[in-house]
Amino acid sequence: MYLKIVKTNHKGKYQEEGESVMLMPQPKIMGSSLRTTLAVLLLGCFLTGLMPAAPARAQGASPALMDKPPAVAEEKKEEAPGAPTTCGPMISDTCLPITTGKFAMQVWWALSLYPNVVTNNWRQVSARGDFYTFAMPVKFIYGPTKDLETYVVVPFIHNGVSDVNVAGPNGQTSSSFSGIGDITAVVKYNFLPEGTYMPALTAVGGVGFPTGHASNLNPGRLGVDAIGTGSFNFITGLNLFKYINPLLVHGQIWFNSPINIYKIHGDEGPINVRSREYLNVNLALEYPVAKQWVLLFEVYSTWTWQNLNTFQGFQTPQTVIGILPGIEFLATDKLALAAGASIDLWGKNGVMKYTPMLTAFYTF
């Protein structure tokens, strides 16, 4: 708008002076209005900083200053439940190797009582004395690589007898003997993982070493000083495992070929001792009944097919079939315990025994 510039006199009357000029309108801002305006400007700047720079950036990667993108909610897929953790069988060997790089140890405490012996025709007769064996095998387990497990079993054995019918050379009717038995080293490889219908299969190879006392026996010990086989035992076999919900099924088939290192002094010179070859066939079932409790049932057997008579002290395998009922307790995620009793049902060319036992398995 245009306005003429005028002056007023001392009486307050307008007096025109000069030309017309353009007058720019000026906003009238009071103190409270200024504070309101500044607050609106600051709020706008703050909200602008919170908004993404562009929609594409909001859908793309996270800003460089963030360590990782924000979590995105995903729908969880249900997976088929795997086999639960257990202590494992007490007699049968396990199939699945220990985790790579892990070390474990297992100890058994077993007391065997021998009420009878069995003949070649499966008939039970008196043992002619109260014989017993306390065994404490210690097993050291290590997983060097994936699907591979190695272990060594070192057994401590204490044999004893009392009230024998046939006394020793000096009239002994009781005796005992203790020592380390035969040490066994085993390697097993899981070459076939468990499938929908196929069981897991593991190849086994091992050697038993004649570290137990088996020669130069003392007649006054009444035979209980024989705590070794006196032979190298070469082992080849196969272990299997299948989880058939809710049962865990374990199987073992081992072929054993013992070769004796001692000789018998016969009339015509030393005679080689030959032990029987034998086959171990075992089956074990585990049934979890609670988070920490598992029922165990095993059927074990040893089969021989050679009728050989060996010199006293050279412990020869026998044919035997038996069962073991037991129970397992998972104390912690590293310690598992089990208790049971093996009961020989049938056999020939050997002894019949009943063996209550405990075992503890600890993973380091």
Mean pLDDT for all residues in the chain: 80
User: With contact defined as beta carbons under 8 Å apart, do 209 and 234 qualify?
Assistant: no
Q: What is the pLDDT, as a whole number, of residue 58?
A: 38
C-beta of residue 168 within 8 angstroms of C-beta of residue 177: no
- 3-state DSSP assignment of residue 33: helix
The CATH number of domain 103-363 is 3.40.50.2300: no
pLDDT band, residue 358 (cuts 50/70/90): very high
Please, which pLDDT band fits residue 230 given cuts at 50, 70 and 90?
Answer: confident
Contact 14, 8 (CB under 8 A): yes
How far apart CA 319 and CA 122 sit, in angstroms, is: 9
Domain ranges of the chain: 2-45, 103-363
What pLDDT does 272 receive? 66
- pLDDT at residue 163 is higher than 50: yes
Strands 350-363, 200-209: parallel, antiparallel or unpaired by DSSP?
unpaired
Predicted confidence band of residue 84 (pLDDT cuts 50, 70, 90): confident
- Tens digit of each residue's pLDDT (9 = 90 or more) over 5-37: 444 444 444 444 444 444 444 444 444 454 554
* Residue, of 11 and 269, whose pLDDT is higher: 269
What mean pLDDT is predicted for residues 34-61?
44
d(CA 164, CA 126): 11
211 — pLDDT class (breaks 50, 70, 90):
very high
Q: State residue 59's pLDDT score.
A: 39
Q: Among 53-67, 93-107, 328-342, name the one with the lowest average pLDDT.
A: 53-67
Q: How far apart are CA 188 and CA 165, in angstroms?
A: 45
Q: What is the pLDDT of residue 68?
A: 43
Tokens at 360, concatenated:
């503890």
pLDDT band at 63 (very low <50, low <70, confident <90, very high): very low
d(CA 108, CA 360): 7
